[in-house]
Amino acid sequence: MEITFWGVRGSIASPGPDTIGVGGNTSCVEVRCGSQTIILDAGTGIRRLGDKLMGEGAVEATLLLSHLHWDHIQGIPFFVPAYVPSSRLQIVGGTNGVMPLRDALAHQMTAPVFPVRLDELGAKIDWREVKPAESFKLGDVEVRVAKQNHPGGSYAYRLDYKGRSVVYATDTEHYACVDPALYALAKDADVLIYDSQYTPEEYRGSSAGSSKVGWGHSTYVAGVELAWAAGVGQYVLFHHDPRRNDAAVEDIERKTRELFPHSVAAREGLKIDLLALAQAA
């Protein structure tokens, strides 16, 4: 089981000389479970992942979407395997209470905002909508789902494969206590990838700018509290604020390690081999 990060930013892509070390693409994480490919979110980072997959032959993959805000789906129209008839894709997302998953993704690929319609894609695409607390199998991978605290709703996923596990929990706002649903989902997980967009000061509005309470994102301190409570092996800070430069991300990573030593800030290109991680523990 291997995790590769292709996009780690939140809200909007932020390329530039000050973000080149961490990366400026929005959310996209590849998880390889044996020969099976699972993709977590389809932000702008999925474009380069698609190019890599095309170099490996016919593409068969499952895409798990946390939710349908732009920074998590904008890469789909630029994911080359979706245009290739030999590709087989399954797209999974939670119910949103507004429209079916397929209709929502078709909506972003309509004139005048995009020249290619969803129904013109060449790949064979299957669709699945999931509900909170649902679990299902993807081959040998068990997937569990949890509802998160985010405007419009969002979903966290846990992947279990041959005794290893990763939890992907982004675009969620913490409560005054550890979120019970995320605690149950992350219990004893090897890796927790968690929305760490703000510092506590930014979240409260005690530093420059307004309060971020109610915006649907969390802090590294809340991530540490969840990591300790759930007994996870490694905490990965994710969904970095688009205004945060490389040095600022490194500073938050350092502060986080003082609270939870097994922490790392997600960066484009970062790979985590869960077997090697377990052997090093």
Report the C-alpha gap between 278 and 281 in whole angstroms: 5
Neighbours of 137 (CB within 10 A): 8
β-partners of residue 136 are: 143
| Between 99 and 275, residue with greater pLDDT | 99
233: which 2 tokens? 């092996």
| Between 96 and 262, residue with greater pLDDT | 262
β 36-40/271-273 pair status = unpaired
The DSSP H or E segment spanning 111 is: none
Secondary structure E strands in the chain:
2-7, 28-33, 36-40, 60-65, 88-94, 124-130, 135-138, 141-148, 154-161, 164-169, 191-195, 234-238, 263-265, 271-273
For the stretch 116-139, pLDDT in tens is 999 999 999 999 999 999 999 999
Q: Taking 80 as the threshold, does the pLDDT of residue 208 lie above it?
A: no
Report the C-alpha gap between 31 and 246 in whole angstroms: 25
The CB-side HSE value for 194 (13 A sphere, CA atoms) comes to 35
Task: Give the rounded percent of residues in the chain with a pLDDT score beyond 90.
Answer: 95
Q: What is the pLDDT of residue 251?
A: 98
For the stretch 16-50, pLDDT in tens is 999 999 999 999 999 999 999 999 999 999 999 99
Residue with tokens 């092996």: 233
In order, the DSSP letters of 121-181 are: --SEEEEEEE-TT-EEEETTEEEEEEEE-STT-EEEEEEEETTEEEEEE-S----SS--HH
Tell whether domain 2-280 is in CATH 3.30.390.10. no
Q: Taking 80 as the threshold, does the pLDDT of residue 280 lie above it?
A: no
| Domain spans, the chain | 2-280
Neighbours of 3 (CB within 10 A): 25
Q: Is the pTM of this model over 0.75?
A: yes
DSSP state for residue 25 in the 8-state scheme = P
Q: pLDDT confidence of 100, banded at 50, 70, 90?
A: very high
Q: What is the pLDDT of residue 184?
A: 98
